[in-house]
Amino acid sequence: MTEPATRVLLFTGKGGVGKTSVAAATALRCADAGLRTIVISTDPAHSLADAFDTVLGPVAAPVEGHEFLWGEQFDAQDRMEESWADIRSYLLEVFDWAGLEGIRAEELSMLPGLEEVFALSDINTYVASGDWDVVVVDCAPTAETIRLLSLPEILAWYMERVFPVGRRVNRLVGPVLSKVSNLPVADDAVFGAGRRFYDRLDGVREVLADPEVTSIRLVVNPEKMVIAEARRTYTYLSLFGYRVDAVIANRLLPEAIKDPWFERWKTLQAEHLAEIEAGFAPLPILRASLADHELVGSERLRGLGDEIYVDLEAHRLLHRDDPLGVDVNPDGTATLRLPLPFASGDDLDLSRSGDELSIRIGSYRRVVSLPDALRRRPVASARLNGGVLEIGFGCRTDQRRPRGGSRSVAREARR
């Protein structure tokens, strides 16, 4: 198998668990191995530069003292100003078009999701450039990360409706729309700007959802609330089709500590670690102990990297799992399988509209376009089976049973 040109490693977890330290250590390890590595922090509470004990800005620049390592502390405001004209004119026209007049340009920067668009577009650009072997992303705490990662698909969903088949069709539809609703219809210039805006994200979902390219690593501490959040994250990431390839259990109390005061803590940690290992299996659980110092500077980050990865190459895919799949069963029915680790039936909600299936867990919703094999089939059942959502579909409604009975039906089913 050929190696993908670039690997993208995203680190996420609850605030303070050690995301930045682990991301920095990982990036350094990759760079030390001679891989051209860029590490980007997308958490507005930047501490990447502090971890390296250096200065990093919103523009990618070499990390001092390392031949193959670059860094960037992503700044949405900076990116927005850089590409402001494009986006502003487009968005203002769209709002105008929608009848929301009087929106000021500055107010646009508060649009939810816009920050994420820029961060994603940076990642996309680095991957597309071919200049990097590894792109390491030190993500914001979990909720923002999920927002970030759910964005491309949501945007695509809207864009396909706003720009159905491109401008040509709009010319045909435009006059009709105007007549019906009296709303001004976006002109060619707006379409151009809109497309350019959207093109920044073109392919980003494919990049991030391709396990050969992108791996997400969950950083946890052996603590109840941290683990609970990591489980939910794992569920949501799986919902959107993103792949986790390892869990990093950080801040484990070292064996060497014999102080009685810490004995109780060590017992608790051991229990939580066992829970992590059982719950997240078969994902590899990498470990890092609580150091007796802050993890600042290359030497210490290198030590952290050695401890976490031992003899593993940090940029490799550490675990390969089963993605969303469809089975056509011998009796002509079909089953859609979507891994949803830790999901519970109580917060799962399914609905179908035409050839789209909407799957909601908690406050996150994914709309899946049904693959061809499942179209024109009624949903017959749904259940969670060992962390996998299994949706049963009946036989195709357009395949009438041919005369002659079961033999032909069996033949149909094999098609």
C-alpha 127/C-alpha 145 separation (Å) is 19
Beta bridge partners of 337: 325, 390
Q: CB 94 → ligand ADP: shortest distance, Å?
A: 36
| Tokens representing residue 46 in the block | 């930047």
Nearest-angstrom CA–CA distance, 302 and 34: 14
Question: Closest approach of Cβ 48 to ligand ADP, in Å?
Answer: 9
Binding letters toward Mg ion, positions 289-318, x by CB under 5 A = ------------------------------
Out of 16, 34, 113, 130, the only residue in the binding site for ligand ADP (CB under 6 A) is: 16
Q: Is 20 in the site for Mg ion (CB under 5 A)?
A: yes
Sites for ligand ADP among residues 189-228 (CB under 6 A): none
Listed ranges 79-87, 277-285, 289-297, 349-357: which one lies at the site for ligand ADP (CB under 6 A): 289-297
Residues 31-50 binding Mg ion (CB under 5 A) are 43, 47
* Rounded least distance, CB 6 to ligand ADP, Å: 23
Please tell me whether residue 15 binds ligand ADP under the rule CB under 6 A.
yes
The pair of three-digit structure tokens given for residue 252, joined into one six-digit string: 């484990």
Q: Name the token pair of 381.
A: 């059942």
DSSP codes joined into one string, 127-148: HHHS--SEEEEEPPPHHHHHHH
Report CA torsion sign: 75, 76, 81, 86. Answer: positive
The residue ranges of DSSP E strands in 256-362, in sequence order, are: 285-289, 325-328, 334-339, 348-353, 356-361
Q: Quote the least distance from Cβ 29 to ligand ADP, whole Å.
A: 15
* Contact track, ligand ADP, 36-75, x by CB under 6 A: -----------x----------------------------
The interface partner of residue 18, options being Mg ion, ligand ADP, none and the CB cut-off 5 to 8 Å by kind, is ligand ADP
> Quick one: which of 8, 9, 19, 186 contacts ligand ADP (CB under 6 A)?
19
Euclidean distance between CA atoms 90 and 49, whole angstroms: 35
Instruction: Give the C-alpha separation, 184 to 98, whole Å.
Output: 8
In the set 8, 9, 20, 232, which binds ligand ADP (CB under 6 A)? Answer: 20
β-pair partners for 403? none
Residue 220's closest CA among 294, 288, 292? 288
* Residue from 21, 42, 145, 233 binding ligand ADP (CB under 6 A): 21
Q: Per CB under 6 A, which region of 169-177, 288-296, 364-372, 385-393 contacts ligand ADP?
A: 288-296
With binding defined as CB under 6 A, does residue 145 bind ligand ADP? no
User: Of the listed pieces 12-20, 177-185, 280-288, 388-396, which binds Mg ion according to CB under 5 A?
Assistant: 12-20
Residue type for position 371: P
Instruction: Select the span of 14-22, 61-69, 188-196, 241-249 touching ligand ADP (CB under 6 A).
Output: 14-22
Q: Contact 41/20 with Cβ under 8 angstroms?
A: yes
**Which residue's Cβ has the minimum distance to Mg ion?**
20
What sign for the dihedral angle of Cα 153, 154, 157, 160?
negative
Antiparallel, parallel or unpaired: β 348-353 and 379-385: unpaired
Backbone angles phi, psi at 88, to 5 degrees: -60, -50
- Binding partner selected for residue 149 from Mg ion, ligand ADP, none, CB under the kind-specific 5 to 8 Å limit: none
Provide the binding-site residues for ligand ADP, judged by CB under 6 A: 13, 15-21, 47, 250-251, 288, 290-291, 294-295
